[in-house]
Structure 1
Amino acid sequence: MRMITFFVIGLTVHVVFFISIFDIYFTSPLVHGMTPHSTPLEPPASRLVLVVADGLRADSLFTLLPNGSSRTPYLRSIIEDKGTWGVSHTRVPTESRPGHVALIAGFYEDVSAVAKGWKENPVEFDSVFNESRHTWCWGSPDILPMFAKGASGDHVYTHTYPAVEEDFASTDASKLDSWVFTQVKSFFKSAQSNSTLKASLWEDKNVFFLHLLGIDTNGHAHRPMSQEYLDNIGLVDAGVAEVVSIIEDFFDNDGRTAYVFTSDHGMTNWGSHGAGHPSETLTPLVAWGAGVQKAKGATEPQPYNDGFLQDWKLEHLRRVDVSQADIAPLMASLVGVPIPVNSVGVLPLLYLNNSERFMAESMYTNAIQVLEQFKMKMMQKKETTLSFLFTPYQLLTESKQAEFTQKARILIQLEKYEDISLCQSLISRSLEGLVYYHTYDRFFLGCSVVLGFVGWTSYVVLVILKTHASLNRHPNLTKQVRIYSRLLCTCVAVVITLFLLIQRSPITYYIYYTFKIIAQNFTCVSLTVRNKPGCCMAVYFCCPQVVSFFHRAMLTVGLAVLSLWPFLSGLFGKAKSRSLSWLVGCLCLAAFPLMPVVGREPNIHLVGWLQVATRYLGSRMVYFLNIDRIRKLYLKRPSSIFVPLLSSTRLFHRLLSIFLSLTSTYLLLSTGSEALFPPVLSWLMFVWINIEQEALLAQGMSGRQELSTIDFSANIDITKIRQLKLDDIRRSYFFVFFIITAFFGTGNIASINSFDPASVYCFLTVFNPFIMGGLMMWKVIIPFIIVMCTFETIQVATQLSSRSLFLIVLVISDLMALHFFFMVQDYGSWLDIGTSISHYVIVMSMTIFLMLLSVVTHVLTSQRLVLWRQRKMHFP
């Protein structure tokens, strides 16, 4: 019962600490209640056409063919004669949803919002579509609905094709883009005979949005260098040319239409996106039409040293790069609608072709719009903080705000339009201030979580020492310390609760401080145990594992060192064959972290060969285990996970069944050399189990069980449970190392971050982010289960309490988590920030996951299902 209680408490503590990272780093930056601001001058365009070619890389559009021609002749002619071009720099995650939010709403969506929903608005935000008079959209059902649902009123009209059309197994997905172009042409054709619709189209402040998903789908299915991908780009170019012609004819060539062509994200050479590679973050931007600056020659060297200008043969034309969020204020300025109130974009003036006054007024509007967000954020934080504790952002106090705005207004009135830099400075300071108030409580929350973490880990260490070491207690001293510590913690808890109530803090803040107080109380009481000198010395077991999060090759170094263990410990002389198997197994497994991340280069022949081999081994296993009737069930690969529950619970039989059934499923989710990973890992795990038996024999342990006699379903004899030894710390360390190797060995986590759907084609080809993500997560979990089952076996074979080993693992994992908590950063590139946070999340998830997975593996190893009553055993 005490074990269950401790398990529940430990799970709760880690869940709370896991959630804390979202309160500290992943809270939504959005504020509401601001007044929309628009430029008080006549806009240059009455309508705007936004074309987003999903998944289009910048180099795929701008690079010429070997013969010097362009695969996009129409857009190339726009770049050279009619419009302004550049590169739009996206932020991670480079996915469709956050990319479109940045384009249309002007802000970079936080991770918590993306996780709450993909097709709808999980949070309320403003957008260019919402501010328009009417918006007509055509394209994917995954993108369009979220902007329609978030719009006030009923003026955003969506036309989508069925979700089943987004099929990655399609021979050519360009039909998705053809559908959009066909629908747009039919729409304007029908508007000619529909007076009501025609009148609406002729109104100002209208937006037309064409979402083209074919390029992205073809890129996933066939790779960006494929003919399908490149031909789809040519189809889009021809379609855009035709649509522009139809629109211009419909509006009698009035010259009041602005066009923006861009992409939400790029794509890697192996057909994935989501991370921060330049092929994913560099997207094309081409703008032309009403209010857009016409093509200008480069009269001086351009400030771009990336070499792309020469490769694209565009060094003679001025290139204007922007951040992806800058496109939202650009579109709002062109069509004369208010800039979305949550936008953090800065108006790119070099794209505008208008009077100096219009550009100055537009920049002033942009500055006031961002300042409104800052003021609202400051007001909210001021209301929830005691006045004597509130520290305002010194670079933009209320007096400085008034000084900035008054000076900028006076300069515009005096027609000193060249001093627009003042507005840009105001925008910069406002954005910095938004970050300041958004992270205002971060330090105090971080300190609370760290102290709680230290208290909990210290308590677990002391529990291990008290339970499994001969330590002397002083009952009277313990009782006194317990009384005083509880009294002190009660007083502190009352003061902190009153403090949080006055500040109207969220409920989660109370939980963090409560866990900190409870953990410190337990630790104070436990420290009354008198221990030998040096027992609390910090031992940094986690260094190689921590480094492996940044450099996968560190796993190779670690495995190479582990391969020498039998030779350094003296086991080689007593078990030569097993020691050599351990050496070869470690070195074979060490090769995987040196290989490229999976998914880049598929090797279907290798995977097919391994599937045949697994089918053969599975059939032989069925024969060997005398389970003829489950042969058909085993060969149905998705059902093979249930096969272990039908096999014998004897150690060798059950483990072999588990490893082969999991490998069978893993192969269906593999695309290359990663398919070899589970067999090699399973081999090494078998060797580990056997060599641990030799280690026990070397220690002279009495009552050691032979592996052939161990039955997982047998009740454990409590009288034979032994105390912890130094070797048990080594076993726990090996377990943590193998868990991390299972996680990063083939780069599976990179596949999830990049969301490469190629590995799930055996089960699903129609786009469904949650099912696909679930299948890829199952692929990551399979090596975990293999290692967990091995650890369960070692615990049984070494006659050690599972609680003892697990507590040691918990301490090592918590030390790693605390290490990564200190490494979380909120500066540098967005990729660096996201990586540092994800490492903490991974370790915390691993700790929680191992707690839950230990229950699953216990069931998987010890339980057996009987589906029929065998009268007579038949051999195949």
Structure 2
Amino acid sequence: MLLFFILGLLVHFVFFGSIFDIYFTSPLVHGMTPQFTPLPPPAKRLVLFVADGLRADTLYEFDENGNTRAPFIRNIIMHEGSWGISHTRVPTESRPGHVALIAGFYEDVSAVAKGWKENPVGFDSLVNESKYTWSWGSPDILTMFAKGVGGDHIYTYSYDAESEDFGAHDVTKLDTWVFDNVKEFFHAARNNQSLFSKVNEEKIVFFLHLLGIDTNGHAHRPTSREYKDNVKVVDDGIKEIVSMLEHFYGNDGKTAFIFTSDHGMTDWGFHGAGHPSETLTPFVSWGAGIKYPQKVSAQKFDDAFLKEWKLENWKRQDIHQADVAPLMASLIGVPFPLNSVGILPIDYLNNTDLFKAESMFTNAMQILEQFKVKYTHKNGYYYNFKIKYKLLSESKQLNILRKARSYIKQRKYDEAVSLCKELIHLALKGLSYYHTYDRFFLGINVVLGFVGWTSYASLLIIKSHSITRGVSKEVKKPSHLLPCSFIAISVLVAFFLLIQDCPWTYYVYCLLPMPIWYAVLREFQVIQDFVLSLLTFPPSQLVGYLFVFTLGIEVLVLSFFYRYMLTAGLIAFACWPFITQLWTRAKSISLSWIFFSLLLAVFPLMPVVGRKPDIFLVMGAGLLVLLLSLCVVTSLIRRKDRFINEELLLHLFQMLSIVLSMCVVYTTHDSLLKKQGLPLFNQIISWITLASSFVLPLLSPTSLFERLFSILLSSMSAYLLLSTGYEALFPLVLSCLMFVWIQVEQETLQQLSVSYKQKVTSLQFTYNPDITQFRQIYLDDVRRAFFLVFFLVTAFFGTGNIASVNSFDLASVYCFLTVFSPFMMGALMMWKILIPFVLVMCAFEAVQLTTQLSSKSLFLMVLIISDIMALHFFFLVKDYGSWLDIGTSISQYVIVMSMTIVLVFLNGLAHLLTTKKLELCGKPKSHLI
């Protein structure tokens, strides 16, 4: 059993890792020749302002009094420069946004393993290509463009990470710090000859990263007064910096300015997904080389934003976020970033048609260089089977370049620009073609492994139990031909991979299905007997079973797309007693099952957590738990057991923990509203409560009811601290349904005339009947396994906590910390997600005990259902369409695979929480039943 689970864990790690090797590989290549425009640039220096987390509508719209929030920026739009919207891609996070802006490519997806913090691979950027770059702002952003870059031409000035405190009284200091330090820098430059000469060089960049708006958005929401007032602070600061720079450089007209944002933010104060409030960011540019405002009578955009912003008469020019990098490189005359996939927005340029054509030609050459290197790299793997992208052959490349150069010489600049854009689009498609070339080949091997593993797990159940009539226990020995055939095929596959010079991971994906399928086919006799036994079933009954099972799997899969499918499933669960004998045998239990199933069905219909925080709902959840605890304590007092005092004291202590959690949540919320920060006492109590929630259940008796109730109380004390609204009620309702589920399963087992020794109320988790007394498996046990998977998915998506990346609410962790710490905050949010999982898995332990079913068989059925779902999502993975569609399809597969792997650890954790007991002093006492 142990060996099987170790092997299963390794197999699932391979399947899980395959998605990263197939879809999460770095698209970057190296070894390209730098390309730059051979004409004098319009600007000597560039100033880049990035207002982190600023939404386009917040900047452009008018406030409730009809006044603009950013008068200086609006004046630029109407009198000095060009404007539009910069469209970002998912994930809308700070690192991917800044990489797109400054390096010109959309974030290397392998950075997900680094938490979007460090460079997983080296890449070129505008900062690296500049003569000198000075940057001010957050250490998380500035260092990633300086780390690993050769030379000493990049200078960064950042504040301490502890300054990023969501509970601080005034986080606009993060922006004013930048403005003040820039002023001090230029003041020092007047008295420092070396520095003065550097800031007067050509091809230099000043980068101001402004984090205050993002921090205010997380702390107070983008609809808050703090967020909107921060926009005014940024606008005033930019006005002062621009005035200072013009004075410093004597109004030489050689400074280009760009103001934009890395991403937006949802109304509930988060970002990461593809909502328009996250992907639509402002873009305003002015100064040297930038086109002046253009008055128009009509525009091509059909949205309502223009009239709302009162900008319908000023030409709006939207761009993609990666297009900003080539624009900035063109303005100051540095080589385009080598890894950039951005297309130069020439409509922003105020220059000659020759300069625009030459710049576009440079852009095309720079992207074509990546295509050539990618082609050479890929054919290094497949030198015996040359693969070519037929739409962009070498002859076609030369022909387009020759024509474009000819058009420029003939002064047919529009034709040259059009031809260069065509070449860029073909090269980008070619890059995608070579990057995704191996996906089908690797995908086939992973699917073979998936199907083989699921078949093998099914055979293990069939061999251990008689699911159907007539399953033979006698298995013939396989012939020597079968292993010899698999060895020969494995050698051929390995030789094929060797001559193609493939990476070592390809050997794993291609050879892993071999031993799995050998283990399946060597059980040919079992397969044959199982098929024959299925033929003894009435066809209508067999089709009915298959239909119900398939429908259940589809409901689970659809719940990942539509949360209300969980509601439909729970309503079906509520109707289940009526189609069985349960309603006639146990009406009170059936009514409880129906009530809590329908009550739990409400949660998937609720809006995603974080939209409308309500501390009073958290208080209400705590009061309900206390009320339930009082009922339990009252029943304990009425008992006359010798050792009841210890149990009673434990429950009273846990009730006190619930009360403290409620007080901490309320006082922390009140303190943050008053901008007084997180009280230290509250922080200490929160961490102590969280730590004690792991230990207190182990002090309770191991009797089924008492131990499960103790786990609920400890979990709720921690969950309340991590809640901001209605989700605080979710674990309580889920636990009530789990308690009823345990009783329901024992009642249904009686219908099958299976004997059992004890009632639910008297069972002990340490009760371990002899393995020979485990009963045979029934088709109803498949339904039990399905129930578990459904409850796990409900725990996953019931409150929308991970329905999408941007549904996380940082306010959930404010009782523990307010200073920005992504890994600590992520760990706390992960524990919040795991608490409902733990409650379900502990109930599952009780179900196995009450139904006297082998945990091995029931657990295998759960793994089979999960693997079928994972295979389903593997087929739904997309490598086309929008980035949001691609990212969502991949994340769904990763979530299901994670659930399969984590299930093993959760089962162990639940076993620990339910069966182990700590003694404070003395030797263990024997509790009376």
Both proteins in one fold, TM over 0.5: yes
Deviation track 1:59-89 (CA, whole Å, cap 9, x = no partner) reads 0000023443211110000000000000000
Write the mapping of 1:119-268 to structure 2, written as runs, cut at 5 A.
119-268=117-266
2:583 pairs with one of 569, 572, 575: 572
Deviates more, 1:631-640 or 1:592-601: 631-640
Equivalent position to 1:352, from 349, 354, 357: 349
1:637 is matched by which residue type in structure 2?
Answer: T
Which residue of 1 is the match for residue 19 of structure 2? 21
Query: 2:330 is paired with a residue of what secondary structure?
Result: helix
Contact 2:96/2:116 (<8 A) preserved: no
Q: 694-703 or 230-239: which moved more?
A: 694-703
Q: CA deviation at 1:535?
A: 4.0
1:807 paired residue among 845, 860, 883: 860
Q: How far apart are 1:414 and its partner, in Å?
A: 2.1
Compute the displacement of 1:755 (Å).
Answer: 4.3
Q: Distance in 2 between matches of 1:754 and 1:148?
A: 32
Cα distance between partner residues in 2 of 1:15 and 1:871: 40
Kindly state the Cα deviation for residue 602 of structure 1 after the two structures are TM-superposed: 0.1
Alignment of 1:500-649 (within 5 A): 500-529=497-526, 530-533=529-532, 535=534, 539-540=549-550, 541-614=552-625, 624=636, 626-627=645-646, 630=650, 632=653, 635=657, 636-638=688-690, 639-649=692-702
Partner of 2:318: 321
Amino acid at match of 1:741: T
- 1:373-388 to structure 2, matched below 5 A, reads 373-387=370-384
Q: Could you tell me how far apart the structure 1 residues matched to 2:533 and 2:238 are? A: 74
Structure 1 equivalent of residue 901 of structure 2: 848
Deviation for aligned residue 1:464: 1.1
Q: Deviations over 1:229-275 (max 9, x none)?
A: 11100010000000001111111110000000000000111111111
Q: By how many angstroms is 1:701 displaced? A: 1.2
> Where does structure 2 lack aligned partners over 5 or more consecutive residues?
536-541, 637-643, 658-687
Contact 1:119-1:145 within 8 A present in 2 as well: no
Alignment partner of 1:791 is 2:844: yes
1:487 maps onto 2:540 in alignment? no
Does the aligned pair in 2 maintain the 1:167–1:173 contact within 8 Å?
yes
- Equivalent residue letter for 2:396: K
CA contact (8 A) 1:704 1:798 kept: no
SS in 2 for 1:813: helix
The structure-2 alpha-carbon separation of the partners of 1:172 and 1:870, relative to structure 1 and needing over 3 Å to count, comes to farther
Tell me the equivalent position of 1:68. Answer: 66
CA deviation vs aligned residue, 1:591-646 (integer Å, no higher than 9, x gap) = 00000000111001111233355456557767846336655577252122311111
Deviation of residue 828 (structure 1)? 1.1
Hey, what does 1:53 align to over in structure 2?
51
For residues 79 and 612 of structure 2, what CA distance do their matches in structure 1 show? 40
Note if contact 1:118-1:142 (Cα within 8 Å) is conserved in structure 2.
no
How far apart, CA to CA, are the structure 2 residues paired with 1:681 and 1:48?
A: 57
**1:395 lines up with 2:401 in the alignment:** no
Distance in structure 2 (CA, Å) of the matches to 1:723 and 1:11: 26
Deviations 1:14-55 (A, max 9, x none): 110010011111101000011111111110000000000000
Q: Kindly indicate whether the alpha-carbon contact (under 8 Å) linking 1:119 and 1:141 is maintained by their aligned counterparts in 2.
A: no
Is structure 2 residue 425 aligned with structure 1 residue 428?
A: yes
Is the CA contact (8 Å cut-off) linking 1:473 and 1:528 kept in structure 2? no
In 1, distance between residues paired with 2:803 and 2:771? 44
**Aligned position for 2:705:** 652
Q: Secondary structure at the match of 1:472?
A: coil
Q: Is the 8 A contact 2:175 2:234 kept in 1?
A: yes
Distance across 2 between alignment mates of 1:35 and 1:563: 66
CA gap 1:273/1:161 in 2 versus in 1, 3 angstroms? same
Aligned-partner residue type, residue 56 of structure 1: L
Contact 2:625 2:732 in 1 (8 A): no
After the TM superposition, which residues 100-115 of structure 1 pair with which residues of structure 2 at under 5 Å, given as runs?
A: 100-115=98-113
Q: Secondary structure at the match of 1:61?
A: helix
Does the 8 Å contact 1:135/1:157 carry over to 2? yes
Letter in 1 for 2:380: E
- Counterpart CA distance in 1 for 2:629 and 2:393 is 72
Residue 747 of structure 1 pairs with residue 800 of structure 2:
yes
Query: Hey, what does 2:683 align to over in structure 1?
Result: none
Aligned residue for 1:485, secondary structure, equals helix
Alpha-carbon shift at residue 285 of structure 1 (Å): 0.1
Match of 1:722 in 2: 775
What residue is the counterpart of 1:762 in the other structure?
A: 815
Cα distance in 2, alignment partners of residues 275 and 319 from structure 1:
25
Contact 1:50 1:209 in 2 (8 A): yes
8 Å Cα contact 2:271-2:805 kept in structure 1: no
Q: Relative to 1, partners in 2 of residues 1:170 and 1:534: Cα closer, same or farther, differing over 3 Å? A: farther
Report deviation, 1:660. Answer: 1.5
CA contact (8 A) 2:609 2:807 kept: no
1:778 alignment partner, one of 831, 840, 843:
831
Return the letter of the residue paired with 1:544. Answer: V
SS at 1:528 equivalent: helix
Between 83-92 and 703-712, report the one with greater CA deviation.
Answer: 703-712
RMSD in angstroms over aligned alpha carbons? 1.9
CA contact (8 A) 2:165 2:820 kept: yes
Gaps of 5+ in 1: none
- Give the TM-score normalised by the residue count of structure 2: 0.91
Alignment correspondent of 1:336: 333
Name 1:87's counterpart in structure 2: 85
Supply the AA of the counterpart residue of 2:689.
R
Contact 1:752 1:776 in 2 (8 A): no
Contact map agreement 2:475 2:523 (CA 8 A) in 1: no
Task: Give, as a single letter, the amino acid of the residue that structure 2 aligns with 1:453.
Answer: F
Q: What count of residue pairs does the alignment treat as equivalent?
A: 867
**Percent identical:** 58
Q: How far apart in 1 are the matches of 2:624 and 2:191?
A: 66
Cα pair 2:344 2:360 within 8 Å, conserved: yes
Match of 1:495, SS?
Answer: helix
More deviation, 847-856/754-763: 754-763
Q: Deviations along 1:347-388, whole A, 9 cap, x unmatched? A: 00011000111111100000000000000000001111043x
DSSP 3-state at the match of 1:762: coil
Q: Of 112, 115, 118, which aligns to 2:116?
A: 118
| Aligned mates of 1:94, 1:535 — CA distance in 2 | 52
Mapped partners of 1:258, 1:77: distance in 2: 16
Displacement of 1:708 in angstroms is 2.5
C-alpha displacement of 1:750:
3.5
In the TM superposition, residue 751 of structure 1 has moved relative to its aligned partner by: 6.4
Q: 1:667 aligns with which of 708, 715, 720?
A: 720
1:467 paired residue number = 464
- Evaluate the alpha carbon distance shift between residue 43 and residue 532 of structure 1 in structure 2; reply closer, same or farther with a 3 A threshold: closer
Moved more, 48-57 or 461-470: 461-470
Matched residues in 1 for 2:902 and 2:831: separation? 13
8 A contact 1:459–1:526 mirrored in 2? no
Residue pairs, 1:682-721, within 5 angstroms: 682-721=735-774
Is the 8 Å Cα contact of residues 274 and 755 (structure 1) preserved in structure 2? no
- Does structure 1 residue 302 correspond to structure 2 residue 313? no
Partner of 2:667: none
CA distance in structure 2 between the partners assigned to 1:872 and 1:734 by the alignment:
36
| Distance in 1 separating the partners of 2:270 and 2:350 | 37
Q: CA separation in 1, counterparts of 2:286 and 2:487?
A: 68
The answer to whether the 8 A contact 2:570-2:597 is kept is yes
SS of match in other structure, 2:530: coil
Whether the 8 Å contact between 1:125 and 1:150 is mirrored in structure 2 is: no
Q: Does the aligned pair in 2 maintain the 1:24–1:442 contact within 8 Å? A: yes
- TM-score, normalization: structure 1? 0.97
